[in-house]
Amino acid sequence: MRWPGQQHTAVIETGMRVELAGLIDYHGRLMSNEIDLHGYTQIEAVEAFVKFYNGCVKNRDWRRIEVIYGSSGEGGALRRRIRSFLAGHAECLRFEAGENIAPANPGVTMVFPDKALPDSIDLLAEEILEYCATARTITKISGKFRRYGDAKIQASVKNLEKSGALKSFYKGQYRHYQSTQQP
């Protein structure tokens, strides 16, 4: 079996399973990058992943990325959120669930970069659209995404409304925003 950049050949017996994680190429570099998202909130995890991923793409580092988040407790929520995010950006990357790779590990997802992901302002818009699948007031939206800052939230909601991705309506005296896109 030949690896890119190598002149050496390894003989592998028929039927033998090979674990690729941790293999080192001819030049001594790891065959993959990894990011550990333990302890992050869902929003922080997506932001950290995008920053890491875009850094790899910017540096033309096309090695796979092992996204580690654990498989129990908060890891289950992170796994669902990260995989949902990855599935929504299939034009930028490919990914494989850890449980489909030997040895099976549901606490990991392998990502194969193709091109850069949208920046955090675009991510905020995506998060708002997802959050507004059920109608929400601006107060609820601002409370949920307060760490982005009120100005960015207001601008994002206004842009989403102008583009038709969010519709607004009054329910009593309160203005509500709801995503026009189906989940």
Write down how long the chain is. Answer: 183
Whole-number Å distance between alpha carbons of 129 and 112 = 26
Q: What residues make up the domain containing 90?
A: 33-113
**Are the CB atoms for 113 and 56 separated by under 8 Å?**
yes
Whether 14 is in a domain gets the answer no
Q: Are residues 62 and 127 in the same domain?
A: no
Domains in the chain, number: 2
Condensed to tens digits (0 to 9), the pLDDT of residues 27-58 reads 445 567 999 999 888 878 888 999 999 999 99
Q: Quick one: pLDDT at residue 101?
A: 85
Q: Are residues 37 and 78 in the same domain?
A: yes
Distance between CA 67 and CA 59 in Å, rounded?
A: 18
The answer to whether the beta carbons of residues 52 and 43 sit under 8 Å apart is no
Q: Does the residue 88 lie in any domain?
A: yes
**What is residue 12's DSSP assignment?**
-
What does residue 94 show for φ and ψ, rounded to 5 degrees? -120, 155
**42 shares its domain with 98:** yes
**Higher-scoring residue by pLDDT: 75, 23:** 75
pTM higher than 0.85 for the full model? Answer: no
pLDDT in tens, 125-158: 988 999 999 999 999 999 999 988 899 899 999 9
Residue in the structure block whose two tokens are 């009054």:
170
